Amino acid sequence: YVIKEGVPTIGYVTSLIQRIHQNKTIKILVVDDSTAFRTFVCNLLRVHQYIVFEACDGNAAIKVMNRNKDIKMMIIDFSMPDMNGVQLTKIIRQKYKKEQVAIIGISAHEKNILSVQFIKNGANDFIHKPFLSEEFYCRVTQNIEMLERIQKIKEFSNKDYLTDLYNRRYFFESGRKMLASAKRQNIPIVIAMVDIDFFKNVNDTYGHDAGDEVIKNISRILKSRFRESDIVCRFGGEEFCILAVNMDPEQSVRIFEELRKHIEKSETHVDGRIIKNTVSMGIYAESADSLDRMIKQADMMLYEAKKRGRNRIVC
Ligand code: GH3
Ligand code: MG
Ligand code: MG
Ligand code: MG
């Protein structure tokens, strides 16, 4: 790959190499009725290691999108039979947001009104034909990086910094949707409130940093015992909430009891010292009318578990 325009800085070349390395997992769909031009664009992308898909018209493009859920970018020509690029963009935008799939419109049309039409109908960017390959790469990279940045920000806003578990904000946002969908499909849903027993003693005896290590260790155990589709969240300081779908209510007692035993046996090692902890859990295995109601019920059970002596589950 030769850089034709201007002398690139070392920094530019280094970041370009890193970028190309990351591109190996990024899927891009090129939609153009001209085989020659489509092949040209696909080859440019392949040089930068992208995984490339092709479609010769709008309908074929929609099919490719439906079959491949993780296409990150579409490069769409304007003039195509049946459906033009702007119409296709409009259809794609009904299903995929701008931060899910970046669309770059492309056209050789003299009228510069086309770039406006593309962008007003949901395209992220526009490239005019003929173009320098460097401009093409700059725009593709810029748009891909924008998507990646949004993805990162989303992850940060959903996760708790100390434990990497989901945070309370995500729990309420996704939990409500999960409950609604479970009710619609008549799928069982179980909620568990988990609180570390006598945690103040850990802080008082070993210090706050050791306390943090205990929280991290228990979080790791919690996360390892549930599926991706469940929500394991740090609800507060040393309190966790788990929302599990499709868990048989009768088996849930056994599953949480095993979890309790596992935590009881586990150890947190800090500066050569071994800290052992137990947890109490409140479990509610009936789908209530609202998430808040389920939390309240599980909280009552947790309170009961603490009252009965801790290191136990109540459901
Ligand atoms: P119980 O068995 O009744 O739950 O007793 P407990 O001592 O665990 O009481 P409680 O649940 O009220 O304890 C909360 C304590 O957790 C108070 C607070 O100092 C500590 N804590 C909360 N967040 C953090 C944190 O992020 N790190 C550390 N190290 N401690 C925390
Ligand atoms: Mg065309
Ligand atoms: Mg506690
Ligand atoms: Mg607590």
Candidate from 162, 199, 212 with most ligand 1 atoms within 8 A of CB, to mutate? 199
- Per residue in 240-253, pLDDT (tens digit) is 999 999 888 788 99
Nearest to 77 by CA among 122, 102, 114: 114
Which pLDDT score, from 0 to 100, does residue 289 have?
80
Q: Which ligand is nearest to the CA of 199?
A: 1
Closest residue by CA, ligand 1 atom 18:
200
pLDDT in tens, 222-236: 999 999 999 999 999
Catalytic residue among 54, 213, 228, 238: 238
Mean of pLDDT over the chain: 94
Q: With 0-12 CB in 10 A as exposed, 13-18 as middle and 19+ as buried, what is 51?
A: middle
Cβ 195 under 6 angstroms from ligand 1: yes
pLDDT tens per residue, range 140-188: 999 999 999 999 999 899 999 999 999 999 999 999 999 999 999 999 9
42 lines ligand 1 (CB under 6 A): no
Ligand nearest to the CA of 311: 1
- Per the annotation, the verdict on 239 as an active-site residue is no
Region 97-120: mean pLDDT is: 92
Q: Say whether pLDDT at 32 is over 60.
A: yes
pLDDT at residue 110, as a whole number: 77
Label each residue of the chain as H, E or C.
CCCCCCCCCHHHHHHHHHHHHHHHHCEEEEECCCHHHHHHHHHHHHHCCCEEEEECCHHHHHHHHHHCCCEEEEEEECCCCCCCHHHHHHHHHHHCCCCCCEEEEEECCCCCHHHHHHHHCCCCEEEECCCCHHHHHHHHHHHHHHHHHHHHHHHHHHECCCCCCECHHHHHHHHHHHHHHHHHHCCCEEEEEEEECCHHHHHHHHCHHHHHHHHHHHHHHHHHCCCCCCEEEEEECCEEEEEEECCCHHHHHHHHHHHHHHHHHCCEEECCEEECCCEEEEEECCCCCCHHHHHHHHHHHHHHHHHCCCCCEEC
What value of ipTM does the predicted structure carry? 0.96
Which residues, listed in sequence order, are joined to residue 295 by a DSSP beta bridge? none
pLDDT for 224 equals: 96
Give dist(CA 193, CA 107) in Å, integer.
56
| Percent of the chain at pLDDT exceeding 70 | 98
Query: Ligand 1 within 6 A of 197 CB?
Result: yes
User: If you average pLDDT over residues 61-73, what whole number do you get?
Assistant: 97
Please tell me if the CB atom of residue 208 comes closer than 6 angstroms to any atom of ligand 1: yes
